[in-house]
Amino acid sequence: MKKLFAEFFGTLWLVLGGCGSAVIAASFPDLGIGFVGVAIAFGLTVLTMVYAIGHISGCHLNPAVSIGLWIGGRFDKRELLPYIGSQVLGGIAGAGILYVIATGKAGFELGSFAANGYGEHSPDGYNLVAALVTETVMTFMFLMIILGATHSKAPKGFAGIAIGLALTLIHLISIPVTNTSVNPARSTSQALFVGDWAMDQLWLFWVAPILGAILAGFVYKLISPEKE
């Protein structure tokens, strides 16, 4: 239960910090942080949580990460569904807190609410194929970095930095394409509040990240297994 609570609060922080920066701070008149600031914010949420709860739950905060670690031989499959459930619920809680804060401003309009999308709902108009490839490849690389940074032979104590910077870089690349998911829990939390098109397109932001994570799990296990 300690692990599940850690994953719940960690994912809550990821959504509140990352999506909150997009919904509240990025659009602030004159002093908005822009999409670069949003990318940094997402990286910081993971970086801070790695050192806060990594020793408790491993700090997955993402169903795709849990699945990739399982495929890579780093995670017990018996814990997989409970972890995913905690992550999704944590993400929804984070989005709920963000909604309460955001609607406290007069004239607030929900809009996309930092939801992920493709086609006309892509920030820069990228189509379904571009979104699918982006989310799959970005998640693949994210898991490769996670598996490498947490390997028993990797330098100790630096995993959080590598993983946080990786997520920042991923956002810098892919915000214009899909608003960056690489995390089904993060996508689900925002889509539930937006409804309509966001729920219709949510399938991609489960399928692509999980596909990328599974591929990474197999590849990294092949090139650098934890046990020879």
Q: Quick check: is 8 in a domain?
A: yes
Question: Which domain, by its residues, includes 113?
Answer: 2-223
Question: For residue 39, what is the domain's CATH number?
Answer: 1.20.1080.10
pTM for the predicted model, two decimal places: 0.92
82-99 pLDDT, tens digit each: 999 999 999 999 999 999
How far, in whole angstroms, is CA 64 from its chain's centroid? Answer: 9
Q: Is 157 helix (H, G, I), strand (E, B) or coil?
A: coil
The beta strands (E) that lie in the chain are given as: none
What is the reported pLDDT for 227?
66
Provide the number of structural domains found in the chain. 1
List, in order, residues 6 or more apart from 200 with CB less than 8 Å away. none
Residue 228 belongs to a domain: no
Amino acid in the structure at residue 204: L
Q: Tell me the per-residue pLDDT of 162-210, one tens digit each, with 9 for 90 and over.
A: 999 999 999 999 999 999 999 999 999 999 999 899 999 999 999 999 9
